[in-house]
A and B are shown apart, each in its own frame.
Chain A
Amino acid sequence: MFALCDCNNFYASAERLFRPALKGLPIVVLSNNDGCVIARSEEAKLAGIRMGDPEFLIRDLLKKLDIHVFSSNYVLYGDLSERVMSNLSRWFPTVVPYSIDECFAWAGGMDNLDNYVVLVRQEIIKNTGIPVSIGIAPTKTLAKMANKIAKKSGGTCVLSTSDDITNAVAQFPVEDLWGVGRQYYQKLAALNIQTVGQLRDLPEGWFKQHMTIQGQRLWNELWGRPMLSLGDPPPKAKGLSVTRSFSGYIEQVDILCEAVTAYASRLAEKLRTEKMCCQFLEVFLLTNKHREDHPQHYPRHTHRLPIASNNTLDIVAAATRVARMLFQYGIKYRKAGVIATALIPEHELQFHLFQRHDPKADKLSEILDHLNMAYGRGTVRIASEGYKKQWRLKHEHLSAGYTTRWEDIIKVS
């Protein structure tokens, strides 16, 4: 049996936990750089705000409907997510987080799951303050479905017998099923298949023919035969990237290089946590495609590093060199990205015949990581990142680090 615990409207719930005055009021959370809506409270959904709505288009509407707007506060969400999953792991010994607000758990060999899961849900909500729903079923696909049913019926749903499952699939709309994308949905709609029950009744051969191996797995999972294991690790990244928009436009090469330095240092840090080195470094720049009156320019270039590397100095030097080469005067850049590709594990590094590898830079990066871990991210950094950081992300509606910074803890009277 698999359990799936999912936080309800997670980002909105997290903001509300520390602002109880917002209980029952509509909330939206914006993406990085305050671009578009990425999370909504139930009330905001009812008010007609859609996922992905760009903030600048709905600004007046948000004001008119008195909707509270937050920038995404990933420091807060990350901490609360960890609390939810740690609490869950006390009740289900093996948990595997699936995303920031969803977590699979192994629920096999337990009696009386129906009552148990109600208790677990109450405890998690009490201990963390984050409302969750839990679905349990014999396969991951069905657990995902049970979770969606739970959201609409008291917060828990256990599908343990084949009758439970048959009843559930008969009513569950096929477009809400995990693993059915828009493409398949259209195919199924053409066949007049609306419920998961109807889908499940198709012969296995149909899945093989129309939905490849994934479809065959899906079919088995719907019949209660697990094809996906709990800990299926996500495929190891083939590439890593740091891509961000600027708060405004960048028209000067030096400022662009500051931003690229910052992105490249972050990328090098990511590579080191993954214990990977990259052989190629791609840098790209973008202008704002929505502004047809601006000259458009979106150059990219891939640079081969002489020796695969993950130290900050090498990565920054290469990335800024490429950025300088790509930059053109008179263009307003909106976004830049640094992408590391052709990753190889640190310990499989091959050295260059004619180029000496300088271990100093690796050591420096190691010290950098130690210091930044102990004293907080960004304590020691490359000076070419600059100090003003005018390009830095916009987050005008950012809430505080209530659980991660002493200076931000809430005052009570």
Chain B
Amino acid sequence: MIRKVQQRAQQTISGFKSPADDYLEGRLDISDVLVIDPHCTFYFRMDGDTMSGFQIPHGSLLVVDRSLRAIDGAIVIACWQGKLLCRSLNFSPCGAASLQSSNGIDPIAKDANLEVWGVVIAVCYNVMPKGLLKGKYRNVCAL
């Protein structure tokens, strides 16, 4: 489980009052820069290596924003034939859209059933070697 309550040392000082007291700021929070619009943000998980060429390895956590309009070159969650896919969206000069995966084996041509669900705005994944994936560090970008 993700710890929501941060353990902090008791700040009641028994000796001298900290000179920093008047200058306290909130600590940096990663969600400030990953989640721009929380009411429109959803999360997905990459399953498989179809997008590894776009630096989206298997198991990545995808931050998806529905408020953006997908343009050429955006990585999107697309809905195709009832399935949700992570692909690169490309527009040909004549304006026809297609979905591209990294291995290029299955470019999905535009068809009437292609629908963009949301735009992937950031990708998070764990870069630790196996030896470090222990205890609470197993939870880094993990299920």
Contact = CB atoms under 8 A, between A and B. Distances in A.
A23 B50 contact: no
Interface in A76-115: 82-83, 86-87
Given A126-B66, A127-B39, A410 B45 contact: yes
B111 interface: no
Nearest to B81: A21
Contact of B44 (A87, A123, A411): A411
Contacts of B5: 374-375
Nearest to A129: B66
A412 B64 CA distance: 12
Interface in B78-103: 79, 82-86
Interface residues of B, number: 29
Contacts of B47: 411-413
A412 B67 contact: no
Contact of A128 (B50, B62, B66): B66
B40 interface: yes
B20 interface: no
A128 B40 contact: yes
A213 to B, nearest CB: 39
A87 B40 contact: yes
A412 B84 contact: yes
Contacts of A374: 4-5
Contacts of A83: 39-40
Contact of B85 (A22, A128, A409, A412): A412
Interface in A12-51: 20-23
Nearest to A22: B82
A93 to B, nearest CB: 15
A15 to B, nearest CB: 14
B20 to A, nearest CB: 27
Nearest to B49: A413
B122 interface: no
A411 B45 contact: yes
Contacts of A409: 43-45, 61
B42 A413 contact: no
B143 A375 contact: no
Interface in A366-413: 374-376, 402-403, 406-407, 409-413
Given A83-B39, A375-B1, A20 B67 contact: no
Contacts of A20: 79, 82-84, 115, 117
Nearest to A89: B39
Given A128-B66, A375-B1, A406-B2, A412 B86 contact: yes
A403 B63 CA distance: 12
B141 to A, nearest CB: 10
A402 B47 CA distance: 16
Nearest to B1: A375
A412 B82 contact: no
Contact of B82 (A21, A375, A402): A21
Given A412-B62, A413-B86, A375 B4 contact: yes
Given A127-B39, A406-B143, A412 B66 contact: no
B71 to A, nearest CB: 14
Q: Specify which of A82, A129, A403, A411 lies most central, judged by the most chain B CB atoms within 10 Å of its CB.
A: A411
A87 B1 contact: no
Interface in A113-163: 123, 126-129
Contacts of B48: 413
Nearest to A88: B39
A407 B82 contact: no
A30 to B, nearest CB: 23
A81 to B, nearest CB: 11
Contacts of B62: 412
B40 A127 contact: yes
B34 interface: no
A127 B67 CA distance: 5
Contacts of B82: 20-23
A413 B50 contact: yes
A117 B1 CA distance: 42
B84 A410 contact: yes
Contacts of A410: 44-45, 84
A129 B115 CA distance: 12
Contact of A412 (B1, B2, B37, B45): B45
B74 interface: no
A375 B5 CA distance: 8
Counting from the closest, the 6 A-B pairs by CB-CB distance are A21-B82, A411-B47, A86-B39, A127-B40, A20-B79, A412-B86
9 contacts: A20-B84, A23-B82, A82-B39, A83-B39, A128-B66, A375-B1, A409-B43, A411-B44, A412-B84
Interface of B: 1-2, 4-5, 37, 39-40, 42-48, 50, 61-62, 66-67, 77, 79, 82-86, 115, 117, 143
